[in-house]
Chain A
């Protein structure tokens, strides 16, 4: 069994193999692997005895279940109205400038993926962003450079 197969098996053992366990299993894979490859989805389908097309259909519905390769840290900048009003664009420019990637891209060292997302629920402290599960609010361009420097140091 390869590492992906055993990860899926462990998750299926933990949550179960019924259809209603599909989301927790996929979330578990994404937590570890950052995204669901076609191969992963086929393996989930096999392990849980669900048609692969159903797994694909379900995975692609949810914006946090990535189906494209993503880096170790996924940056999701909120683009909904209040964040857009409070400087989300400046924030995006600062990130793009620092990491030399555009929205939707991953750094060549596979560390960061930059995405936009819909309302994160921090409108009173806009602009907001997520890095993996961690929330950052009232993020200015200076603050985001500091935050990212922290992540870069942490992994070097």
Chain B
């Protein structure tokens, strides 16, 4: 029997719309509270991967009594397998800029920054042109808001929000302790809203079409659409906007090459799902009622049966070992030891049971590492080792 599947393609984000001036001027005629309530009722969650409710983030910053506040657009897109934010900034920069300005209006921030990763420096000139034109209009309507680009210099960890702020303050990109959260003490220790590029574009959709339109898409706990960066063993790699809540099985039917062995959901810091679990896995934020639900910043990498999962894990671990900021021991030493460990097992220098010791180590890292990088190494490590143990050994 043929399997019938349904993926819901949507076209909001890249829809070519030339009315940003109108969207901006009508949105800032509303009261800040009204805008915040609209965002909250849309149930938009952060699209960088962590999934914090966007409306609440804006609200917390707006409530702060401080007069100096900031808006930051996180364009340090470094997660392996993710490439959507660049596409947004090159195709619809005005939506991002408008959303930043509205956020400034709502929270009382007068300055916004786009932290652009060094690998995307070729975008800088075009983006600056868009910013100039945008700020010219802001002046015309007496909106006191400035936007500048801050260039990164090749450090994955700077995508972590507090590391990004350290970097903007001219230091090593080492994550801070939380709390305090950026909404209380962020850039220059002032209340800061920091949102992923895609999150900002979704707020534009909500401003323009209303919260209900957004809320009606997706499923419970995972409302709206999401951009997916599809790569690996697929006949059609690229960027796709899909409704949240789809099953991984449906996704593989659409994007697989007929021989899909596993899918890495959420990049190197995410989870590897083997074929047998495709139908029990949904893509969305936690809280779905059936099966497991995996959040993702949008990275979907497909592997077919010709791929060695040992090589995949080896590649991830080398990535983490290099990108660990080195500040806390569990992550710095943990990443090194995991990489040495799987190689030793592969060469037969350590018994297969050594893998269990390494799994314990990732548990320790998950509990004790200071930031998401060290904590999330356990995700890919355990999901690969537990599902493809034989490939690690032989």
- Give chain A's interface residues, CB within 8 Å of chain B: 18-24, 26-27, 57-58, 61-65, 79-82, 84-85, 117-126, 130, 133-135
Contacts and interface: CB of A to CB of B under 8 A. Distances in A.
A22 to B, nearest CB: 4
Contact of B154 (A19, A57, A63): A63
Main secondary structure of the interface of B (DSSP, over half): mixed
B315 interface: yes
B78 interface: yes
Interface string B233-272: 1000111000000000000000000000000100010000
Which are the 10 A-B pairs with shortest beta-carbon distances? A64-B154, A22-B170, A124-B237, A123-B231, A62-B153, A63-B154, A61-B172, A64-B153, A19-B170, A121-B83
B80 A27 contact: no
B151 A81 contact: no
Q: Interface residue tally of chain B, by bracket?
A: 35 or more
Contacts, number: 116
A141 to B, nearest CB: 21
A121 B173 contact: no
A133 B121 contact: yes
B171 A118 contact: no
B147 interface: no
B313 to A, nearest CB: 10
Interface stretch (B131-139, B284-292, B318-326): B318-326
B156 interface: yes
B231 A126 contact: yes
B81 interface: yes
Nearest to A48: B170
Contact of A120 (B119, B152, B239, B319): B119
**Most B C-beta atoms less than 10 A away, residue of A19, A22, A26, A135:** A135
B153 A122 contact: no
B118 A64 contact: yes
A81 B172 contact: no
B124 to A, nearest CB: 8
Given A121-B77, A123-B83, A57 B172 contact: yes
Interface in B123-171: 150-156, 167-171
Contact of A82 (B152, B170, B173, B301): B301
Interface of B: 77-83, 86, 117-122, 150-156, 167-173, 188, 229-233, 237-239, 264, 268, 301, 307, 311-312, 315-316, 319, 322-323, 325
**Most B C-beta atoms less than 10 A away, residue of A20, A85, A125, A135:** A85
Given A61-B155, A61-B173, A82-B301, A118 B319 contact: yes
A130 B307 contact: no
**Most A C-beta atoms less than 10 A away, residue of B153, B229, B230:** B153
B116 to A, nearest CB: 11
A135 B122 contact: yes
Given A82-B80, A121-B83, A123-B83, A65 B172 contact: no
Contacts of A81: 80-81, 232, 264, 268, 301, 312, 315-316, 319
B100 to A, nearest CB: 20
Contacts of B301: 81-82, 123
Nearest to A19: B170
Given A119-B80, A121-B78, A135-B122, 17 more contacts: A21-B170, A23-B150, A23-B167, A23-B170, A27-B151, A62-B152, A63-B154, A80-B268, A81-B268, A81-B301, A84-B311, A85-B307, A118-B323, A119-B319, A121-B82, A123-B301, A124-B229
A134 B167 CA distance: 24
Contacts of A23: 150-151, 153, 167-168, 170
Nearest to A63: B154
Contact of A80 (B77, B80, B154): B80
Contacts of A125: 237
Given A62-B155, A63-B155, A80-B315, A19 B80 contact: no
